[in-house]
Amino acid sequence: MTRLSLATWNINSVRLRIDRVSAFIKREKPDILCLQEIKCQEAEYPLKAFEKAGLPHVAIAGQKGMHGVAIASRHPIERLDPPPFCQHNHARAVAVKVAGFELHNLYVPAGADIPDPAVNDKFAHKLDFVERMRAYYAARARKKSVPPLFIVGDINIAPHENDVWSHRQLLTVVSHTPVETDGLMRILEDGKLTDIARVRHPPEEKLYTWWSYRAADWQASNRGRRLDHIWADRTGAPMVDLASYRIHTKERGGEKPSDHVPVSVTIDAV
């Protein structure tokens, strides 16, 4: 059995924040680090920094100046076809097999500001992406022989009342509208997936992984949302050490922070 640490982080430009990423790897020693919004093409990705940090096995889905996801690992990885969630073929998904399980790293569209698909194409795209996720993971859950699955990334939806600083005030704000939260819950239900955070923490506990850059003092206002997720399927969930689940809140501070922070768990892989 291999015990390993899995972390996910919307880094908001891996090249701009590579020093922070390297310091995080050195300090926290993740065995697998999944990044979203890397904002670079594959040839521009700072591979040498990850090799130096001890994560030499990398799968990258890059795009010029926007989007982009990557998985870096201490263990060898097998690149898999990414799930077909994005109708515009953005670099928003990368999939690998590592340490005996399947890992999907996702960056769901934010959806812009107006929660009406009739007038906001970006919100329509987000809802389509979410429905494609539901159908894909539901179909996978019906298969009899598949490896354990972990899904991580910036899902850009805060599903529960205490995943946002004010449930009442954010009901009409993109990321917490009922059509989005209902869609996310259907992904979990139909896909037989476990939201690790809410198994580890009770529903009445506030959990945030993102704080807006617009806040003059993000700590004082603490108007956060839980947009970054770690999910596991029926065979993956028992492999998770629930006590290890951690939101690395301190990463929101310091020089040039991302507006998201890392989230991590420890897994007992085969």
Q: Which pair of structure tokens corresponds to residue 252?
A: 């929101």
Contact 111, 126 (CB under 8 A): yes
Q: Please state, for a pLDDT cut of 90, what percent of the chain lies above it.
A: 97
1 pLDDT higher than 80 = no
pLDDT, position 216:
85
Q: Is CATH 3.40.50.720 the classification given to domain 2-269?
A: no
pLDDT tens for each residue of 116-145: 999 999 999 999 999 999 999 999 999 999
Q: Distance between CA atoms of 269 and 101, rounded to whole angstroms?
A: 7
pTM confidence score: 0.98
